[in-house]
């Protein structure tokens, strides 16, 4: 869970939230609620005191559904969440007018109040914003390159239903329940999917009405997919490693009508550190082509000394050297650990962490951390600067261009 609900339902919140919205939230769980809601019909001050006492108790005493609701509202109950909710409402052409008091005057609503109001009155806006938040939270994505570029996904109700049905079966096989909801979102040339599904069942003892009992519940989890027709690439996050290829095939089958589109042997041979290995520990990033990038620092790196397992004949790591430096000296630290030996047949660069400083118009730049681990992974928060980060990696030779030979032949 992103936030502790104790912080969300603190005394300040329960003293200021309207009793009408609070009643509507609690009534969603009336059957499992150990609280007499008739208290809300009486004196407001007394009602707030009872509600405050209720939320001051242990979270285990709340109905499971209420806990889930509070956590979802808390995730969007801050300034960033408010902006996201308003942005989504604008995209959906749904007007959310500011609340007024009975006399028509302005009311002061903090982001938690606003998030609760949207949750109750504008469920489409809330669900979409929640999906967007889940998508932005994913930084470690598995990527698959298709056999060609420019293949458009066929987005129809029939293909969407087919994908959702097939995805539900995959999660059900992993004992995550049969619930599956997919949100579909277009962004320029990309199609983004947020899959809400169940988690493994959890069992916990609670105290209820003066007695102990055990409850079982299945929390909601999210997986994200993003497909770029222009690049022919599919990104997958929140899916167990053993199931990623299967999910990629389901997408290719239902949305592209080409089941083997992501099944090539080099479909995940996407990143390389060979340019750094060729230059050695004196490598620096070229970012002059993008005046908005102030600096690129290599802040961490790992090198592996490779050998051969005498019993199997397979390569193995004999030892590793790691270096971390916040001032762009991580590669120099590797050189010390490698005793000055160059990269080559024995030493291989395992991964690097870089920090990119983007000029955003202020005195302080926006900093984005990126971890590059060949051949499959470039991990970073992709809700900002993704195109520019990928261009930086390509311009420095760290991205395999799978279609470079085909492009050269076509040009000739």
Range 321-333 average pLDDT: 85
Is the domain of 155 the same as that of 219? yes
> Is residue 265 included in any domain, yes or no?
no
**Residue closest to 392 by CA, chosen among 272, 300, 289:** 289
**Does any domain span residue 262?**
no
Asked if residue 224 belongs to a domain, the reply is yes
CA dihedral 226, 162, 89, 123 (to 10 degrees): -130
- Residue 368 is part of which domain span? 274-408
Residue finishing a domain among 221, 255, 289:
255
- Domain co-membership, 378 together with 282: yes
Same domain membership, residue 127 and residue 13: yes
Structure tokens at 135: 């998508």
Shared-domain flag, residues 82 and 155: no
Choose one of 134, 159, 180: the last residue of a domain: 134
pLDDT of residue 298: 93
Interval 193-242: pLDDT, tens: 888 887 777 777 766 666 777 767 677 788 889 999 988 999 998 888 88
Mean pLDDT, the chain, integer: 83
Cross-sheet strand order for the sheet of 142-145 = 142-145, 233-237, 220-228, 190-198, 180-187
> Does the structure show a pLDDT above 50 at 411?
no
**pLDDT exceeds cutoff 50 at 356:** yes
pLDDT score of 371 more than 90: yes
Which range has the worst mean pLDDT, 5-14, 74-83, 237-246, 259-268? 5-14
Q: Are residues 88 and 21 in the same domain?
A: yes
Q: What's the pLDDT at 345? A: 72
Task: Tell me whether residue 166 is in a domain.
Answer: yes
Shared domain check, 304 and 224: no
Residue 63 in any domain: the answer is yes
- pLDDT at residue number 409: 36
Mean of the pLDDT values across residues 119-141? 80
What is the arithmetic mean of pLDDT over 120-138? Answer: 81
Q: What is the pLDDT of residue 227?
A: 93
State residue 8's pLDDT score. 64
Pair (327, 373) in one structural domain? yes
232-286 residue pLDDT tens: 999 998 888 889 999 999 999 999 999 999 999 889 899 999 999 999 888 999 9
Domain identity same for 234 and 160: yes
Mean pLDDT confidence for 72-76: 81
Q: Report the pLDDT averaged over residues 54-72.
A: 72
Q: Are residues 47 and 158 in the same domain?
A: no
Q: Which of 81, 111, 134 is the last residue of a domain?
A: 134
* 136 CB burial (10 A radius; 0-12, 13-18, 19+): middle
Please give the tally of structural domains in the chain.
Answer: 3
- Position 105 confidence tier, pLDDT thresholds 50, 70, 90: low
Percent of the chain beyond pLDDT 70? 86
Let me know whether 103 and 157 are in one domain: no
In this structure, the answer to whether residues 51 and 153 fall within a common structural domain is no
Are 5 and 67 in contact by the 8 Å Cβ rule? The answer is yes
Do 120 and 62 share a structural domain?
yes
Residue scoring higher pLDDT (257 or 11): 257
Give me the pLDDT at residue 3, please: 46
- Confidence (pLDDT) at 67: 74
pLDDT at 412: 40
| Domain assignment of residue 200, yes or no | yes
Quickly state the pLDDT bin for 408 (edges 50, 70, 90): very low
Residue 287: is the preceding peptide bond cis (ω within 30°)?
A: no
């Amino acid at each position: 869970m992103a936030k502790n609900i104790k912080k969300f339902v603190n005394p300040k919140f329960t003293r200021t939230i309207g009793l009408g919205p609070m009643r509507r939230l609690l009534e969603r769980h009336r059957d499992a609620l150990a609280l007499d809601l008739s208290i809300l019909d009486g004196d407001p001050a007394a009602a707030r005191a009872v509600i405050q006492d209720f939320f001051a108790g242990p979270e285990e005493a709340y109905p499971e559904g209420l806990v889930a609701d509070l956590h979802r509202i808390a995730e969007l109950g801050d300034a960033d969440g408010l902006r996201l909710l308003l942005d989504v409402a604008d995209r959906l052409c749904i007007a959310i007018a500011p609340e007024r008091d009975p006399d028509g005057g302005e009311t002061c609503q903090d982001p938690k109040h606003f998030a609760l109001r949207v949750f109750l009155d504008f469920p489409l806006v809330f669900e979409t914003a929640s999906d967007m938040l889940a998508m932005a939270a994913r930084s470690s994505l598995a990527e698959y390159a298709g056999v060609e570029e420019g293949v458009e996904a066929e987005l129809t109700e029939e293909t969407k239903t087919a994908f959702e049905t097939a995805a539900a079966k995959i999660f059900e096989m992993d004992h995550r329940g049969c619930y599956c909801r997919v949100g579909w979102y277009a962004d320029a040339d990309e199609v983004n999917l947020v899959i809400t599904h169940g988690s493994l069942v959890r069992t916990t003892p609670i105290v209820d009405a003066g007695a102990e009992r055990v409850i079982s519940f299945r929390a909601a989890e999210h997986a994200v997919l993003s497909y770029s027709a222009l690049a022919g690439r599919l990104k997958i996050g929140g899916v167990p490693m053993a199931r990623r290829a299967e999910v990629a095939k389901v997408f290719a089958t239902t949305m592209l009508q080409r089941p083997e589109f992501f099944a090539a042997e080099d479909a995940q041979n996407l990143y390389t550190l060979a340019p750094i290995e060729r230059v050695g520990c004196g490598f620096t990033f070229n970012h002059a082509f993008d005046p908005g990038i102030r600096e690129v620092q290599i802040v961490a790196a790992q090198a592996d000394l490779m050998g051969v397992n005498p019993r199997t004949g397979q390569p193995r790591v004999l030892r590793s050297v790691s270096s971390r430096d916040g001032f762009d000296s991580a590669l120099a630290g590797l050189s010390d650990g490698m005793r000055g030996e160059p990269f080559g047949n024995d030493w291989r660069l395992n991964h690097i962490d870089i920090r990119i400083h983007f000029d955003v118009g202020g005195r302080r730049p926006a900093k984005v951390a990126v971890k590059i681990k060949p051949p499959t992974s470039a991990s970073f928060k992709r809700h900002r600067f993704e195109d520019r980060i990928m261009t930086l990696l390509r311009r420095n030779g760290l991205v395999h261009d799978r279609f470079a030979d085909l492009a050269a032949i076509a040009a000739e």
